[in-house]
Structure 1
Amino acid sequence: MTTETYDATYLTGEDSGQRWRLLLGDSCERLTELDTDSVDLSVCSPPFAQLYNYSPSPRDLSNSRSRGEFFEHYRYIIREQLRVTRPGRVAAIHVADITMQKVMHGTIGLTDFSGEVVQAFVDEGWIFDGRVTIDKDPQAQAIRTKSHSLLFVTKDRDSTMLRPALPDYLLKFRKPGDNPIPVKSDVSNEEWIAWARPVWLGIRETNTLNVRAASDDADERHICPLQLDFIARCIRLWSAPGELVLSPFAGIGSEGHVAIETGRRFLGIELKPSYWRTATANLRAAEDAALAPDLLSELAAA
C-alpha cells in the first residue's frame, strides 16, 4: 500500500510490504510516530555535517549552516532513537572524520566529526560501547578524492603534508537497561575472531546497491550508499531473525535490503522522494527474493 501527501515543499508518504515499512519524511518528525521500546537494532549512516549535500531541502541535515546547527537538529533524532529502542539494545552508526579545506577553512587538516557524534549520543543518554575502524584503500581514495595528502607528488615535494587514508568508523552505542531477550547470534567463532578486531578488513567499498535509479535531475547532489558488508556484520552481530531493524536515514534502502535478506524486519525513514521511491523498489525486490524459496518449497510439498 502506498500513500502520499504533499504540502508545499515537503512530501510525506508511506509504503510497506510483509517485512518492511518505509516512511517518507523528516526523521525529526516521523520518529515521534513510533512506539517506545519497539526497535531491536538501528543501523545508519547519518549525513556528514557540511561535507556532502544530498538535497536542497532546508530539512536536510547536510544543509545545516554550521556544525553547531547540524548537531542541534541531529540530537532530536538521537533522542528519538533512544526512546524507540528496546532497553539494552544497540545503535550502530557509520561515520567518518571530515577534512578541512584551504579555500573554506584557511588550512588543511581534519575535524573530529566521529568524536562529536560520540559526545552527542552520550549527552542524549546512550552508552558508548565500542569503535571499529573500517580499512580503506589509500590509492582508491586518492583517485576518488584527489586529496593532496595522499599523492606521490606531495610525498616528493613535502612529506609533512602527507597523512594516512581516512577510514570510516563503526560507533556502537547501547541503550541503558537490561536486554530482556538475549540475541543468539549466528556468527561463527571464526567470523567473530575476525570481527572482534579493532579494524574491520574486507569491507568492499563497491559492494553497494545500484544508485542510478535514484537520480533526480532537479535536485541531485550526492549519493553514497552504505556498503552491504558493513550492514550485514552489524545486523548479524546485534539482532536476531524476525527482529526489527531501523534506519532513520534509509537512503536507497541498503539497510533494509540486508535486513530482509537476513530474515529481519525493517523500518526506514527517508526525506528525499527520489531516494524513497528507489528504496521502496529495492525493498520490494529484496522481499520477493527472500520469499521465493518459501513459495517453491510450498509448491514442491503440494
Structure 2
Amino acid sequence: MDFLTPELHRVLKPGRVAAIHVKDRTVPGGINGFGFQTVSPFSDDCVAHFRKHGFAFLARITVATDVVRENAGTYRLGWSEQCKDGTRHGRGLPEYVLLFRKPPTDRSNGYADTPVAKPKPWSFVDAAEQPDKSAPVGPSVRMVPFDRNLRPVPGEGYSRARWQIDAHGVWRSNGDRPLLPDELRALVKGDKKSIYRGWKAWNLAHGYDHALHVEFCEVLDAEGKLPSEFMLAPPHVDHPHVWTDVARMRTLNMLQQRKGREMHLCPLQFDIVDRAIEDFSMPGEVVLDPFGGIMTVPYCALRMGRRAIGVELNPDYFRDGVTYAEAAAAGGAGPTLFDLVEASAEVVEAAE
C-alpha cells in the first residue's frame, strides 16, 4: 500500500475524492492471546495511512450490516454465548466508506481543479400556475433557469431541499410510546417481506424506542417468524452518513451464483457504489478501482455513463469481471432485486 496509495494520489485529479470501502477486522482469540475474539480497527489504520500519503480526510459514512449474518460467519456474537457471559459479547461491525480528498492546486478557495458541479433546479415563472406542487408539472406551466427570487420546481436538479437532507448531521430523537402499537401488532401477521418493509417504514416515521424494538422482535419470535439466518427487523436510521438501506444481496455475486462460478469473498453492494459515483464524478469521466474483484465499480460506472478502469490480480475474478463490464458497456441490465427469489432471506434484504 505504501506504493499504491502515493500512485493513487498522483493520478487523482486535484480536488477529487477517493472513496474507500472498508470494514474492521475480527481477530480470533487464539491469535490475539486473549482467549476471546477482539476487533482490529482497520478503518482507523486506513485513515492514518491515507493521511500519511497526502490525502485529506473528509468523512466516514457508516453502512449498517446484518448482525445475524455476521455471527453466522464469525460465531462472535452468539445468543447462547451472551447467555453464558455477557462480558465477552461484542457488537456487529458496520462497513465504512471513507472519503479522502486530494487537495486542489489552488488552495485559496478549496474548489477542485475540475469541480463536480450539480445543476440547480428550474424555477416557476409563476408558482400559481402549478397549484398542486406534488403533481407532475403541467405542459402549460412556464419555467426558467434557477432564480433565487422564484419558487423552485420539485424534482428538478440539485435542490436546496435535497442539500439539507444530504448535509444535515442531527440524529433522530427518542419517542415515548406504548409497546406494539396497533400498526406493528397487525404487521406481525404478514409475510417476511411485508414485515421487513413495514418495520422499516415505521422505524423511519417514528422516534426510535429500544424497548419497542425488542418487544416487536420477541413477538415475531413467538409467532415463529424471527429468522435465524438474517435480521428481519434491523434498526433503521435516517442520518445521511449511516446507510441502513443498502440491499446486501444486490451484488455481482448474484450472477456468479446463478452461473455456478466462484463467489467473491467480499462482494460490494451496488447501492454503495452508485451513491459514491453520483456524488463524486460526472458523466464521461474515468472511475478507477485498483482492487477490482469481479469489477463491481467499473460495472456500475459504465452503467452510469462514466468510463472505468479496474485492476485485479485474481485471473478468474478478472475474467468474470470483464464479462460484466462488457455487458454494462453494451447497455445490459444488472441483477434485479428479486434475482434470488428462491431464498426468502435474500428477497427480504433486497426488497427495497
TM-score range, shorter chain: 0.5 to 0.7
- 2:80 counterpart of 1:147: no
What residue number does 2:251 align with?
208
**1:96·1:168 contact (CA, 8 Å) conserved in 2?**
yes
What residue number does 1:59 align with?
none
Q: Deviations over 1:6-44 (max 9, x none)?
A: xxxxxxxxxxxxxxxxxxxxxxxxxxxxxxxxxxxxxxx
Q: Deviations over 1:128-162 (max 9, x none)?
A: 1110111112122222x1423x2110221111111
Greater radius of gyration (CA): 2
Counterpart amino acid of residue 232 in structure 1? D
Residues 271 and 263 of structure 1: CA distance in aligned 2, closer, same or farther (over 3 Å): same
Counterpart amino acid of residue 78 in structure 2? L
Unmatched runs of 5 consecutive residues or more in structure 1: 1-73, 292-302
What residue number does 2:14 align with?
87
What pairs with 1:31-110 in structure 2 (closer than 5 Å)? Answer: 74-107=1-34, 108-110=37-39
Residues 200 and 187 of structure 1: CA distance in aligned 2, closer, same or farther (over 3 Å): farther
Identity %: 34
**2:251·2:270 contact (CA, 8 Å) conserved in 1?**
yes
2:16 is paired with a residue whose SS is strand
> How far 1:99 sits from its partner (Å)?
1.1
Q: Deviations over 1:242-282 (max 9, x none)?
A: 11100001111100111011111101111111111111100
**1:211·1:225 contact (CA, 8 Å) conserved in 2?**
no
Q: Deviations over 1:178-206 (max 9, x none)?
A: 41222124666548726862311211111
TM-score (norm 2): 0.56
- 2:282 counterpart of 1:282: no
**1:214·1:252 contact (CA, 8 Å) conserved in 2?**
no
- 2:268 counterpart of 1:226: yes
Residues 91 and 176 of structure 1: CA distance in aligned 2, closer, same or farther (over 3 Å): same
What pairs with 1:258-297 in structure 2 (closer than 5 Å)? Answer: 258-289=300-331
Distance 2:268 2:303 in 1: 16
> How far 1:122 sits from its partner (Å)?
0.5
What residue number does 1:296 align with?
none
Distance 1:251 1:290 in 2: 19
Distance 2:268 2:167 in 1: 18
What residue number does 2:90 align with?
163
Counterpart amino acid of residue 281 in structure 2? S
Question: What is the aligned-residue RMSD (CA, Å)?
Answer: 2.3
**2:61·2:241 contact (CA, 8 Å) conserved in 1?**
yes
Distance 2:243 2:330 in 1: 31
> How far 1:105 sits from its partner (Å)?
2.1
**Which of 1 and 2 has higher RCO (CA within 8 Å, sep 6+)?**
1
- 2:66 counterpart of 1:137: yes
- 2:232 counterpart of 1:199: no
Distance 1:214 1:76 in 2: 36
Distance 2:166 2:10 in 1: 32
> How far 1:78 sits from its partner (Å)?
0.7
Distance 1:179 1:214 in 2: 44
What residue number does 1:126 align with?
55
**2:60·2:241 contact (CA, 8 Å) conserved in 1?**
yes
Distance 1:78 1:122 in 2: 10
2:17 is paired with a residue whose SS is strand
**Would you say how many aligned residue pairs link Structure 1 and Structure 2?**
212
